[in-house]
Structure 1
Amino acid sequence: MTGVLPSQRLEQMISNGQISGAPAIIPEQIQPASLDLRLGNIAYRVRASFLAGHDRRVEDRLKEFEMHQIDLTDGAVLEKGCVYVVPLMESLDLPDGLQAVANAKSSTGRLDLLTRTITDGGAEFDRIAPGYTGPLYAEICPRSFSVLVRPGMRLNQIRFREGQAVLDDAALRALHTSDVLVNGEALIDDGLGFSVDLNLDSTDLVGYRAKPHTGVIDLDNIGYYDPAEYWEEVRCKDGQIILDPGAFYILVSREAVHIPPAYAAEMAPYLAMVGEFRVHYAGFFDPGFGHSAAGGTGSRGVLEVRCHEAPFVLEHGQVVGRLVYERMSEIPQQLYGSGIASNYQGQGLKLSKHFAAPA
């Protein structure tokens, strides 16, 4: 059946060896529509980011670009501004007709921790061709903060798809009519558009900007770090802020979005022509995000924004991204936010789970 594979199908793939892990995959890795991937025991510090390329292996390309190896067994720091390649504990043996796409997890993106999946023979990041058999690797580049990592940490995730699952605009409008996807007017143009909120209720705090010189973040520490040591508050009284080149911001969408149980979504850039800044499309939106038993209530989308070459004025209500909706092949047995550890259900403006709640 066409669509994104749900958790129960992922369990079947693990059982029949189409997805394997060393050590064995644990139940906590299985999400409603994706599988978390685990870091292995070694990180390779490389001179530059790379793709394997047609008929070439990542292992062979590492010999060209490797600077040194880092043993992660007892924990090791991946330094800001450096590029690393880490073999993952999972490998694939996909049948023909089944493709995969990977993406950084939400908490990874909120730390500005660029994490992409590469494969043998791969010509694109995060895209795994139908029938791929072989290992998986994570390319990791900390952009704002140095991080302490260990084997088994889960920074990225993978989703599997049979056939064409993406909803076109006509199907998306029909879905919004039957099962409201967003509060307010739905801007549907090659996906569901969303905008930035710079006029939050009862506060002028609209976001956070990463400080340039901070301490290391241990990714195992949850609710631990003081936000003030790592982030500057971004306040706004007139509906606009100026983004500084090279700076990283956490902002929030104006819209509360809803992913019905039979669908999944992925965040994508809105317009390629808007070159002054980029909304980092860190994660997947699982079935059930912003959903309640009584119907869609919606959750805000957190925006990870990086400005490029020139200062840029960002204004309240400006469209900055879109959600691309996909059909599930089946409704997952477990939905996001329903009995599982879902950190961002019902969220507003929120830093990653590693930070304590602001005072």
Structure 2
Amino acid sequence: MNDVTPAGILPCQSIEALIAQGAIASLTPFDADQVQPASLDLRLGERVWRVRASFLPGMGRKVTDRMADVAMHELDLTKGAVLERGCVYIAEVQERLKLPAGIAARGNPKSSTGRVDVFVRLLTDHSRAFDDVAEGYDGPMYVEIAPQTFSVLVRTGTRLNQLRLKQGKPPLLDTRSVGVDLSAGMAGFRGRRHAGVIDLDKEDGHDPRDFWEVLEPRRGELLLDPGEFYILASKDDIEIPVLQAAEMTPIDPSVGEFRVHYAGFFDPGFGAAETDSRGSKGVLEVRSHETPFLLEDGQTVARLVYEPLTARPTRLYGEDGSHYLRQGLKLSKHFKAWK
């Protein structure tokens, strides 16, 4: 990267250049589909630890330095391991970074991870905040995994989160409110508390009725029960221009006793006429807080924050097909279509 490159999110060709330069390395060869239009999928390594508490290493300390204080036992991911709901784990990530000056990064759960209520956060050495990777960071990466509603089966190579790289400090181009759609007869799903295990590498392999119940709002309203997990859809289609990327962020909790608690990345071209002539809804992963809350049709539940790319990506969202292309209300790719 050089000084004339504008501030912004790096597109796929710039991420591939960083891989070629060794600024992003891996213990194993990169997968052919690992680089997305404006992000890089991260893969679990060989080991995961059950820990008694979440933590941040803080300045001057490595993740492994703190692990001795909180680790309870180690699991071998090469054989596959079930991560139990209600427990917290720290796993190795296969990829490591040696970022050039001026390049920073941010982690985020993949869409499919958020839709099964698995809380995922990126950890790096010396970090004082989850998900944010400091400019010029040189070192390994780890991921904190906390399944909330379902226990999940993962293994070496499972992709739970993704990394977005950026040059400089990209300006915020726009912020748009996202409302919830409660107008349809089948307006959402609620997770079943005592369901089986979800294999996170198995697509179209689970009967959704074993894990979800359908929600049918009355009079355009839905009562959110404390501690329950909901899949809902945005009121309007979401469109991401091809020279921008966006992140869905939670709104101020003071507007209601709920939270869209997985901030999601939206790649350039998502829902855009150039790649998606019919448009795409945003899927919302909603959890209520301690107090029941009555949600209304069209109510604002999140915001989209748009940032520029440094260049047009050589591939756009959905060009090679996607499970979530032209989506409406849709469960994660792990489930068969609802019938």
2:213 and 2:55 map into 1 onto residues whose CA distance is 33
> Which residue does 2:194 correspond to in 1?
213
> Which residue does 1:187 correspond to in 2?
none
> Which residue does 1:69 correspond to in 2?
74
> Which residue does 2:12 correspond to in 1?
7
Equivalent AA in structure 2 for residue 61 of structure 1: R
Residues 1:123 and 2:103 aligned together: no
The alpha-carbon deviation at position 345 of structure 1 amounts to 1.4
Percent identity reads 52
> Which residue does 2:112 correspond to in 1?
107
> Which residue does 2:310 correspond to in 1?
329
TM-score, scaled relative to structure 1: 0.91
> Which residue does 1:285 correspond to in 2?
266
List alignment gaps of at least 5 residues for structure 2: none
- Tell me which of 224, 228, 250 is aligned to 1:269: 250
> Which residue does 1:49 correspond to in 2?
54
Whether contact under 8 Å (1:248, 1:306) holds in the other structure is: yes
Equivalent AA in structure 1 for residue 317 of structure 2: Y
Please give the residue correspondences for 1:95-174 in structure 2 after superposition, counting only pairs within 5 Å. 95-168=100-173, 172=174
1:315 and 1:275 map into 2 onto residues whose CA distance is 11
The alpha-carbon deviation at position 167 of structure 1 amounts to 2.3
The alpha-carbon deviation at position 72 of structure 1 amounts to 1.1
1:51 and 1:309 map into 2 onto residues whose CA distance is 26
> Which residue does 1:248 correspond to in 2?
229
Residues 1:344 and 2:324 aligned together: yes
2:78 counterpart SS class: coil
List alignment gaps of at least 5 residues for structure 1: 173-190
Equivalent AA in structure 1 for residue 19 of structure 2: I
The alpha-carbon deviation at position 282 of structure 1 amounts to 4.0
Count the aligned residue pairs: 334
The alpha-carbon deviation at position 297 of structure 1 amounts to 5.0
Whether contact under 8 Å (2:270, 2:276) holds in the other structure is: no
- Tell me which of 32, 35, 39 is aligned to 1:34: 39
1:132 and 1:301 map into 2 onto residues whose CA distance is 32
1:78 and 1:11 map into 2 onto residues whose CA distance is 32
Per-residue CA deviations over 1:204-229 (Å, capped at 9, x if unaligned) read: 11100001101111112111111111
What is the RMSD computed on CA atoms of the aligned residues? Answer: 1.3
> Which residue does 1:180 correspond to in 2?
none
1:60 counterpart SS class: helix
TM-score, scaled relative to structure 2: 0.96
Whether contact under 8 Å (1:260, 1:296) holds in the other structure is: no
> Which residue does 1:16 correspond to in 2?
21
The alpha-carbon deviation at position 96 of structure 1 amounts to 1.8
- Tell me which of 311, 327, 334 is aligned to 1:354: 334
2:41 counterpart SS class: strand
2:49 counterpart SS class: strand
Whether contact under 8 Å (1:85, 1:137) holds in the other structure is: yes
The alpha-carbon deviation at position 294 of structure 1 amounts to 8.0
1:300 and 1:293 map into 2 onto residues whose CA distance is 16
Equivalent AA in structure 2 for residue 260 of structure 1: P
- Tell me which of 300, 303, 307 is aligned to 2:281: 300
